Structure 1
Amino acid sequence: MVCLGLCVRIGSNCLIDILCQRPDSAFMSKPDYLPSGFIHTLQDYVAERALPAAALQEEMSQCLESPSVPAQKFCELLAAVWEQEPVSALGVRLGLAAKPGYFGVVGYMVSYCGTLGQALARYHRYQRLLQHGLVSRAELKEGALRMRWTQSVANTPLASEFSLAVFVSLCQALIGRAITPLRAGLPFPKPQDVGMYQALLGCPVDFDCSAIELTIPAHLLALPISGKDPYLLRLLEQQAQALLNQLPQMDDAEAGASFHRVQEQILESMKNGDVSAVAVAAALGCSVRTFYRQLRSAGYSYRGLLAHTRHTLARQYLADPALAQTDVALLLGYSEQSSFIRAFRSWTGMTPGEYRSHLERKAGSAVR
């Protein structure tokens, strides 16, 4: 899975903003998680090729019931597809079929940015919502953007191929046109059929590299994104920032990953209005008893986590005058506005309407 940390400014010919996201050493041996949406590329490939893999399809469908999948499990699924059809550059073929929506809230958010450069900057800012076990670097120099990244868990040859191709696919989907990289690199020995990699990626490909590498022309960063929508971008960025602020700074990365998966599933469950512990636990594939026990071991209660998530997002949403109170209630998974009003009063001591009036008075005072 590619979660490339990147922040660039266009128009400079020098080394700029080299940003490294380095997970702590304790995390390197702990589980990592990816958005489960990437499994759709595997499912589609198996179906399109009519491969005799009914059990594998069922296993992938079960993994899709959760918003995240362990990186190790994703590597195993990639290997299982390759065993069904051991073709050259399979990871590249699969990755090029990925869509922005497979990246979750971050994918949707970057789809509404103005330019590719802006999208990649936000991608960096919120990459912790996608994957922790990552080290990345970007360099803009002499008219080219060179990107390098490594993955502590999803580091098999197939996963590395997939990661490289997924990033190319994301960039192409954002600007609505094919891109021709200047060069690519992969961290495994040179295969026999190098030509297939070069044909699929459209550029020279190096092997035995120390990291996954991709170099693209810098002018691509200025290209507009066809789905630009400032309002939706602001709304999704508010949600992403609120979630990022909530991520626990834990030494125990496994506990942190569990927190992240629960929070992701709460967001998913808000869409259909059922954020009960039973529904969330079932979506995560565990019993309610196990679900509660895992949360307790990480120092959380489900009721507290749900309330904190709703409270944080409610304040973000109510600060947006374009959203009606009924819309805010629905976004937070409340079937009735009255339930939202009672909950908000218990959090803040005022109703949503009173809170908005408070924000308006505060803004008016600042203007004066």
Structure 2
Amino acid sequence: MSKTDYIPSGFIETLQVYVRERGLPAPVLLDEMSLELESPSVSALRFCDLLESVRQLDPVNALGVRLGLAVRPSQFGVVGYMVSSCGTLGQALARYHRYQGLLQAGLSSRAWLKDGVLFMRWTQSVANTPLASEFSLAVFVSLCQALVGRPITPLRAGLPFSRPEDAAVYPVLLGCPVDFDCNAIELVLPAHLLALPIFSKDPYLLRLLEQQAQALLKQQPLIEGGQTGAFFTQVQEQIVESMKNGDVSAEAVARMLGCSLRTFYRQLSSAGYSYRGLLAHTRHTLARQYLADPALAQTDVALLLGYSEQSSFIRAFRSWTGMTPGEYRGNLTQGKRDFTSTDPGRRAIP
């Protein structure tokens, strides 16, 4: 694995606040942190160095946990805004898992439910020092608590390093028993927490997602009449919902509509549409709307459309319009709004 993994630079803000609030004599270190914050991401190795610099200034027990518990959702970058827009903690964690690579490419995780308990386990290929590992664990707990607006009580936590001399502080800070010498970072939560509602304090992304749904609902159905038209509308609406969770596969949409994949394909085919074409048409329509908003970065647009990689969005957009998203946005800026929209979902039925 490459040693050039990156994480959101927003996490550095927590380190800055800690140094200042503790009155630590580190003007040079604070300046270095400010420079790193000028970029949206920071090398994972560099972040580990900054963590260690703070520890040398203030060698308190469980420093990584203390720092991680102070992180806010906004410091997660676009993923933080995305999970903050969800309706429940369960929806947020599903989306977090889907887009975790945007937080740290070297992050490998697994989550599963069993007997009313949610088990999570993850490893970090680069940011894998004891300090970084405990920071990562605490950051996740902090995110969950911030999303639901109240403390949560894990059932257990685990860390992949030897038991420190003063291990008693870890369960006090995290609110649960903590094991050491684990094979990975581990967290166990009661499954009922997944139903907790999210009261987001930053509704910006939620508003965008609502606009996304409204934009499609305002479109006149491309299919006229009866059960076929109603089914088409349901498919459009479900595509919008599936984009929020990052899984826009035909299987996922059909499952949410309560029909078999075979029936799903047959109904679309009878109306003269393919699912791939319909998905492309929906994404194309919304992409043009989002690119007209200068406040949205291209990476944000890609995520809103359900792409896990910006490169995939760029390729798709070029196939729809013959230009890149950047070129399209540049033409909009120049007032060239005479682009025509095709319906790539339509195909001939013999």
Alignment RMSD, CA only? 3.4
Q: What is the alpha-carbon distance in structure 2 between the residues aligned to residue 363 and residue 137 of structure 1? A: 36
Match of 1:44 among 17, 30, 33: 17
Contact (CA 8 Å) 1:115, 1:225: kept in 2 or not? Answer: yes
Candidates 217, 232, 254, aligned match of 2:208: 232
Greater mean deviation of Cα atoms: 227-236 or 165-174: 227-236
Instruction: Name the residue aligned to 2:150.
Output: 177
Aligned to 2:338: 351
Aligned residue for 2:176, secondary structure, equals coil
Matches within 5 A, 1:278-289: none
Cα offset, 1:341, TM superposition: 2.9
State the partner residue of 1:56: 29
Give the gaps of 5 or more residues in structure 1. Answer: 1-27, 245-312
Letter in 1 for 2:149: G
Equivalent in the alignment of 2:82: 109
Q: Offset at 1:328?
A: 2.5
Matched with 2:6 is 33
Taking the aligned partners of 1:110 and 1:76, their CA distance within structure 2 comes to 28
- Following the alignment from structure 2 to structure 1, what is the Cα–Cα distance between the partners of residues 181 and 114? 23
Counterpart mapping for 1:131-142 below 5 A: 131-142=104-115
Alpha-carbon distance in 1 for matches of 2:155, 2:132: 22
Could you tell me which residue of structure 1 aligns to residue 228 of structure 2? Answer: none
Deviation at 1:192, TM superposition (A): 1.4
TM-score (normalizing by structure 2): 0.65
Tell me which residue corresponds to 1:205: 178
| Structure with bigger RCO (C-alpha 8 Å, 6+ apart) | 1
The structure-2 alpha-carbon separation of the partners of 1:51 and 1:232, relative to structure 1 and needing over 3 Å to count, comes to same
Deviation at 1:73, TM superposition (A): 0.4
What 5-or-longer segments of structure 2 have no aligned partner?
Answer: 214-239, 247-282, 299-327
- Indicate the residue corresponding to 2:288 in structure 1: 318
Please give the TM-score of this superposition, normalised by the length of structure 1.
0.62
Deviation at 1:188, TM superposition (A): 0.4
**2:219 aligned with 1:219, yes or no?**
no
SS at match of 1:194: coil
Q: Alpha carbons of 1:340 and 1:93: their partners in 2 closer, same or farther (altered >3 Å)?
A: same
Taking structure 1 as reference, are residues 31 and 45 closer, same or farther at Cα in structure 2, changes over 3 Å only?
same
Shift of 1:132: 1.0
Percent identical among aligned pairs is 61
Q: Is the 8 A contact 2:3 2:45 kept in 1?
A: no
Trace 1:1-368 onto structure 2 (pairs within 5 A): 28-227=1-200, 230-233=206-209, 316-319=286-289, 328-329=293-294, 331=296, 340-341=331-332, 351=338, 354-355=340-341
Larger Rg: 2
Alignment-derived partner of residue 271 in structure 2: none
The 1:316–1:128 alpha-carbon spacing in structure 2 relative to 1, beyond 3 Å, is farther
State the distance in 2 between where 1:199 and 1:220 align. Answer: 20
Figure out how many residues of one structure are paired with residues of the other and give that number: 253
Task: Classify 1:338/1:84 alpha carbon distance in 2 versus 1 (closer, same or farther; 3 Å).
Answer: closer
Q: 1:330 to 1:89 in 2, by over 3 A?
A: closer
